[in-house]
Each structure stands twice: as C-alpha cells, then as structure tokens.
Structure 1
Amino acid sequence: MSDTRDSPETADLRAALAASRRRESWLSAATDVITLMLLAEDPHDVLTLVAERAREASGADHCSLLLQHMDGSWRIDVATGLAADQVRGSLVEPHRHSVRVAVTGRPFTLEAGSSTPEELAPPFRRFGAIVYAALAQRDDRPIGTLVLANAPGGRSFDDEDVRLATAFAHQAGLALALTEARAAEDRLAVYADRERIARDLHDLTIQRIFAAGLSLQTLNRRLGASDPDLPAAAERLEAVMDELDAVIAEIRTTIFDLQLTADQEATSTRARVLREASRAARVLGFEPSVRFTGPLDSLVGGDTGAHLVAAVRETLANAAKHAGATRVDVVVTVETAPETTLTLDVLDDGGAPMPRWRPSPRTARQGLTNLAARARELGGSFHAGPAEDDWGTRVTWRVPLTP
C-alpha cells in the first residue's frame, strides 16, 4: 500500500501557494474598494462593499463593521454573511474588545470561550473564532473596527489572516474617509449654490416683483382719479405684465437650476449657460440675470451649443468692461415659428453705451469680432451697440437652427 502523504517540500509548496492566493484575494478586494471609492457618492455603498469583499477574501462566515458615530456611540452599521440580520444595528459598549481595537489601532483575535462575556459584545457571542482589525483613523479620531468571524467549530484565524485583515481594514478606512470628505465637499457645493440662488431671488426676482407691485399701486391711484388717462394706464399695465412675465421666467430658471442632476449639468446647454453666468460674477461684481424661453436643451447642442456658451462668455466679458454697470440681463430664446432660431440677448445698464459695432480688419474689439465670426459660421447675425433707450449696451447674437 503506497503512502499518499505529501513530502515536506510539497506541503510547503502547497502552503505557499495557498498563502499567495489568499494575498491575491485580499489585494483584489482592496482594489475593488478603492475603485468604488472613486465612483461612489454614498459612503454606505463603500461600507457595504468593504464588508462583502473582506468576507470573501478571508473565507470567513461573517463580516461586520463597527463604527463610531458623531455622538460618541458605537454601532454595527454593516453586516454580511452568517447572522447578519441579528448583528446589524446593534449598539456596542465602549469597554468591549471590538471598540478598544478601534481606539488603539492594535488588532485582536480570539477563540470561542477564550474571552469573558464582559469583554465580548453580545452580538459577537454567537460566533467561534473572531478577528478585530481597526479601520484607519480620521483626524486622530477612530472610525471603527472590521470584524471577521466564523461559526462555532469553524476554522481558526492565523497570524497571516490577522495581518492581511489589518492591512485591508486600514486601506478601507482611508477609502471611507476620502468618500465622506468628498460627500461633504459636494454638500458644501450644493449649499453654496442654493445660497447663491436664494441671494438671486432676494436681490433680483423679489425686488422686481416689489417694483411691479408699486407700479400697480400707482396705476390704481391714477385710475381712481376724476379724469383717468386710460391710454397711459393701459401702457403702464402692459409694461407691468411684461415685467411679471420676465420674473416668471427667472423663477423657472431657478427651479431648473435646483432640480438639475450632476449628469444633466454635464450635458445640458442651459446648465452650461448658467455656469458661465455664475463665473462671470467674479469680474462683474454681481450675478447676472439669466432667462430662458423655448426648448433650448432639446434643440440646441453639439457645435451650436458650444458656440452659444462661448458667446455668453464673451458677451459677459464685454459687459464687465463697461464702467458703472450694475445689472446685466442675459436672455436666451429658442423660437420655432415662423423659423427655428436661437437668439442670445445681453443687455447691461452701463452709463457709457458702446458705439455700434461694425466689422473692421483693424478693430480692437477682438471679443466682438469673435462673436460675429461665430454667428457667420452658423449662418446667423450679430449686433452690438447702444440699447434702445441709449442707456447701456445691448448685444444680440442670432443663429438659425436645423429642425
């Protein structure tokens, strides 16, 4: 009868191969976590993947993440595998082994029955072998503990398991901290944008509604006079109605800006125009008013959208050069009848209106020349000069659209 037992050399080779596969599995798990960290917006998604991949890489029956919350409490927020539903959401007291590992950063392993009930948190008393590995700290404050566990009577964890779990937990903690920092940065950006929108509503839209209300009060008094001037009253009423229409357009733009998702913002022509207007505030010293009319995003994109965004940028830069301008109105209109056209109107209230622009090879106004060239390239027209009341400057850029 032949002896089928491996030689010492073969046994060592098998052990080395198994250890190599284990390290490869942990490395793959760490790569997955880092990749998700670059893509995920929700830290909980990263936590869930950390637990799932750690359990798969270690071959453990259970993995959970014990995390410290802002109020100082410790809770098992994520659990996967054996008894996950019974463990998830449990609170853990600060004196337990699992919490001390997070605070000290030193890993700890134990077998069933080798620790007193007082040291072992109740959620983990149902398991056999356990490994605790600390997640990386954040701002000198512990994040939490990665817990690997097997069923009673299952495989014990060796030193290599502890070392690999500790390295993985450290990387996972860094990934989580970066994801949370990015989420906090995104929230701050949203808050800043909402603050800007609220400021615009207060400084621009509400003031225009208030002015319209005063005009209506004046109109009411005139109509109550003994000999009212009805033609003048009708003209004033029409002007107020036009102003209220403009205010409604501004409010619609604001609502769109609030509802826009990140993916839409990256591709929407409307969002790109709004972004250019927001950037122009740095040189203007105030936020320009922006209004849209017509199906802009559905009809304008590609090269035409790129030319429009560039035209907005150049006209706002031109408006910034006018001394004394305190208001700039940007109006983007898409008309579908009688012809489908795109029109950009930019009006500022600068006290020194710009002379009517005419093409000239020696012109010094290179920005306006570029605007005219963009309009000609698309088969359109360009006009720049004094506003209708000779107070301020109006720039009009109009191009046809292919239906």
Structure 2
Amino acid sequence: MSESSESPETADLRAALAASRRRESWLSAATDVITLMLLAEDPHDVLTLVAERARGASGADHCSLLLQHTDGSWRIDVASGLAADRVRGSLVDPHRRSVQVAVTGRPFTLEAGTAGAAGEAGTAELAPPFRRFGAIVYAALAQRDDRPIGTLVLANAPGGRSFDDEDVRLATAFAHQAGLALALTEARAAEDRLAVYADRERIARDLHDLTIQRIFAAGLSLQTLSRRMGGPDPDLPAAAERLDAVIDELDAVIAEIRTTIFDLQLTADQEATSTRARVLREASRAARVLGFEPSVRFTGPLDALVGGDSGAHLVAAVRETLANAAKHAGATRVEVVVAVEAGPGDSATASTLTLDVLDDGGAPMPRWRPSPRTARQGLTNLAARARELGGSFHAGPADGDRGTRVTWRVPLKP
C-alpha cells in the first residue's frame, strides 16, 4: 500500500511516531549538553556542543548562537553546518529580530523562501548573515540575572523545508535549558577564578609578611656586620659566625620561594598524587585554626622518594604536629621543614625523611616522654608512627626561651 492510499489511522500513527522520534532526539541533545556542563571547564565547549546537538536534533542545515558580550555588543560566536565559516564571528545590530528574541524571550519563525523578501519579517529585521538562508527559527536562551544571554538560530538552505510549530516548541525548550547550562558553566568558571585569585592573594601575603621580611632582616644584619668589620679590632670569628647565620637564613628564604613557585605551577593531577602538595594542603587547612599560614619548606627529592605508606604517615604527622601547635602553643609563627636526606652514595636505601616543626608559642615545653597518661595524645601517635617505620621522634623546647620543636624522622625503604 502506498503512502497516498494509506488509511487516516496509519497516517496519524506515522506522524505520531515521527513526532516521538523528534522529541527523543531533542531530549538526547539536552542530556548531552547537561552532561558536558557538569564536566567542561570552558564555556565555549558547551556552546559548541549546543549548536551541534541542536542542528542534529532538528535536522536543520545550520545552527548558530548569537550571544551578548560584556560591552553590550551582539556577535555570532558559534556556528555549525551550512555557511558556518561565513556566519561565525559576525556582529549583529541590536535592532535586528534575532536580538529582540533574546531580549523578549518570544520565539520567531520565518517561512521557507521569505528570508529575502520584504514580507512577514522584512529584510530590515534580518541580520545580514541570516539572509542567505531559507526557513529560520529564533529561540531565546534562558536569561542570566534578568539579562539576555543570546539566541539559538536554526536555519535551512533556500528551498528547504519550513519549520512547524513542534519544531519551534522543542527548539525553545532546548534553548532555555542550554542557556541555564551555559550560565551554570560560567558561574563555575568564575568561582574557580575567584579561588585562584584568593590563592594568589594568600601567596602574595605570605611572600610579603614572611619571605620579604626575612630578606629585609638579612639585609639589616649584613649592614650591621659591615659596620662592625669597618671598625677597629673587628671580631673575625664572631663576624664569620654571623655571616654563616645570614647565609642559612637566605637559603631558607630561597627554599620558601621555590615552594611557592611549585605551588603556583602544580596541575590538578599532580596535586592529587604529590606528597609535597598534600603537605601544603594540610598547612593551608591548619591556617584556619592557627589564624595564620604556617611557613613550609622542602629540601631533597620528596616526591621522587616519598609515597605510599611513608607519604601517608608524613601527611598525618604534619596534620598532628600542626594541630598540637594550634591547641597548646598559642604561637604566632610555625615553621614546617620537610627534608629528604640521602646517605652515602645517594642510595635510596640510605635515605631519611625528616619532619621538623618549630613554633614560637608560650614557654618551652619540657622534653616529651611516653606515659600511660598521654596514650591518647597526638604526640604519642607521632611517636607510634615513627616506631612503626623504624624511625625516631622528639618533642621538646626550641632554642631560646620560647617555643617548641617537634622532630619526626624515619628511614625510607627502596
């Protein structure tokens, strides 16, 4: 039986099936866009997928996205299909129908063969890039903060099929969802940028408050030493000792700057697996309790030799020592030094991992010794971790009349 002689019931069934397939295509396209929105970091990737999926779901020859920019201008940023290269990047005047659809939220359709005529829409209402097509559908993307985002444009070649009411309804629903996806992606990208800016601000503050001040203090020490050396009967041994101390301080500052550079350059994948990054993350978390950012320095090939169990124990030891400083010390400064020292011949079997944490809080604590009464305290946990790895633990007064030094040292297995 030919299509021309089929029964009305069969024709209705065929039309219903076609409409169902069309809705399924649009639903699949919307699902793809939402999925990418959850994964993509670049809003342009979402825009590209929106245009490609909309063109595929509608069966249109062309799809483009007209978007408003921060300076108020309107531009076709994404185009797919027929004449995409000639349309993409074109600016559109605000009085054009495609812009008004984005502003009002009301869709617009143009019959096939009327794009170049001064009929229903008129050429004055059509932006020049769209006058090359036949049938056209304009559907507004969802607004963002009561401001228009843009317009989804579907078009067919001259002489192609017209879009019906169902096409317009499905395109409008898809465009609304696509606008929401784009707004969420941009919001997440903005949040990520704010997090980066906040981290940069923290690093800049640390460099100013800690590193630069130490360099300034080292410079003052050298000036004082220079004046003493220029006087009569200079004390050469004392001057040499003071110079060595300044050199040690500058070495420490250089190590801090290297740590800062590493923190800036670390990628997301490296951060997830790097022992160094995990230590830095623990220091950042401790800052919320301490009220300031601890100073962290690294020496030796930490990530090359420390991982697995030893890395996990190190991170836990850093967490416990910083928690101890926050609870008991009342410190205004905490220094964390993580060092990997190679033994004779630089063999991995002779390497040692050392965690040294120094604070300036309160009176010096007495030397810690294990006791049944301290079985639940963090220092006892640190000692147990060191013993488990065949290492040693020491906690006691720092040099001078204030502060505490905690040293946790373990051998590294090959």
TM value normalised by structure 1: 0.96
CA distance in 2, matches of 1:102, 1:3: 41
Any idea what the Cα deviations from partners look like across 1:101-150, whole Å, max 9, x if unmatched? 11111111112964211111111000000011111111111111100000
Q: 1:324, CA displacement in angstroms? A: 4.3
Q: Percent identity?
A: 92
Contact 2:329 2:403 in 1 (8 A): no
Any idea what the Cα deviations from partners look like across 1:72-98, whole Å, max 9, x if unmatched? 111111111111111111111111111
1:35 counterpart = 2:35: yes
Secondary structure, in 3 states, of the residue corresponding to 2:280? helix
Q: 1:266, CA displacement in angstroms? A: 2.1
Could you say if the C-alpha distance between residues 113 and 399 of structure 1 is closer, same or farther in structure 2, counting changes exceeding 3 Å?
farther
My pick for the range that moved more, 216-225 or 111-120, is: 111-120
Could you say if the C-alpha distance between residues 128 and 2 of structure 1 is closer, same or farther in structure 2, counting changes exceeding 3 Å?
closer
The gaps in structure 1 that reach 5 residues or longer are none
Q: 1:262, CA displacement in angstroms? A: 2.0
Contact 1:250 1:290 in 2 (8 A): yes
My pick for the range that moved more, 208-217 or 277-286, is: 277-286
Q: How many residues align structurally?
A: 402
Any idea what the Cα deviations from partners look like across 1:200-219, whole Å, max 9, x if unmatched? 00000000000110111111
Q: 1:311, CA displacement in angstroms? A: 1.1
Could you say if the C-alpha distance between residues 331 and 117 of structure 1 is closer, same or farther in structure 2, counting changes exceeding 3 Å?
same
Q: 1:392, CA displacement in angstroms? A: 1.0
Could you say if the C-alpha distance between residues 135 and 343 of structure 1 is closer, same or farther in structure 2, counting changes exceeding 3 Å?
same
Q: 1:286, CA displacement in angstroms? A: 1.4
CA distance in 2, matches of 1:248, 1:358: 35
Could you say if the C-alpha distance between residues 2 and 401 of structure 1 is closer, same or farther in structure 2, counting changes exceeding 3 Å?
closer
Q: 1:228, CA displacement in angstroms? A: 1.1
Aligned with residue 211 of structure 1, among 217, 222, 230: 217
My pick for the range that moved more, 306-315 or 76-85, is: 306-315
Q: 1:377, CA displacement in angstroms? A: 2.2
Aligned with residue 383 of structure 1, among 362, 384, 394: 394
CA distance in 2, matches of 1:322, 1:222: 41
CA distance in 2, matches of 1:161, 1:37: 24
Contact 2:329 2:359 in 1 (8 A): no
Any idea what the Cα deviations from partners look like across 1:45-102, whole Å, max 9, x if unmatched? 1111111111111111110001111111111111111111111111111111111111
Contact 2:365 2:403 in 1 (8 A): yes
Q: 1:347, CA displacement in angstroms? A: 0.2
CA distance in 2, matches of 1:158, 1:49: 24
Contact 2:141 2:177 in 1 (8 A): yes
Q: 1:388, CA displacement in angstroms? A: 3.3
CA distance in 1, matches of 2:291, 2:281: 16
1:36-185 equivalences under 5 Å are 36-111=36-111, 114-185=120-191
Q: 1:32, CA displacement in angstroms? A: 0.8
Query: Which stretches of structure 1, 4 residues or longer, exceed 3 Å deviation after superposition?
Result: 1-5
Q: 1:2, CA displacement in angstroms? A: 8.3
The gaps in structure 2 that reach 5 residues or longer are 112-117, 345-350
CA distance in 2, matches of 1:131, 1:375: 71
My pick for the range that moved more, 106-115 or 355-364, is: 106-115
CA distance in 2, matches of 1:392, 1:255: 29
CA distance in 2, matches of 1:277, 1:377: 24
My pick for the range that moved more, 315-324 or 222-231, is: 315-324
Q: 1:194, CA displacement in angstroms? A: 0.3
Could you say if the C-alpha distance between residues 382 and 116 of structure 1 is closer, same or farther in structure 2, counting changes exceeding 3 Å?
same
Any idea what the Cα deviations from partners look like across 1:221-259, whole Å, max 9, x if unmatched? 111122111111111111111000000000000001111
Q: 1:303, CA displacement in angstroms? A: 2.5
Secondary structure, in 3 states, of the residue corresponding to 2:4? coil
My pick for the range that moved more, 312-321 or 364-373, is: 364-373
Any idea what the Cα deviations from partners look like across 1:332-385, whole Å, max 9, x if unmatched? 1112224x1211110001131222111122216611111122222222221111
CA distance in 2, matches of 1:3, 1:291: 80
Counterpart in 1 of 2:374? 363
Q: What value does the CA root-mean-square deviation take over the aligned residues?
A: 1.7
Contact 2:329 2:360 in 1 (8 A): no
Q: 1:263, CA displacement in angstroms? A: 2.1
CA distance in 2, matches of 1:301, 1:18: 59
My pick for the range that moved more, 34-43 or 267-276, is: 267-276
Contact 1:215 1:240 in 2 (8 A): yes
Secondary structure, in 3 states, of the residue corresponding to 2:241? helix
My pick for the range that moved more, 318-327 or 353-362, is: 318-327
CA distance in 2, matches of 1:2, 1:240: 97
Contact 1:322 1:352 in 2 (8 A): no
CA distance in 2, matches of 1:20, 1:273: 56
Counterpart in 2 of 1:349? 360
TM value normalised by structure 2: 0.94
CA distance in 2, matches of 1:311, 1:106: 62
My pick for the range that moved more, 107-116 or 155-164, is: 107-116
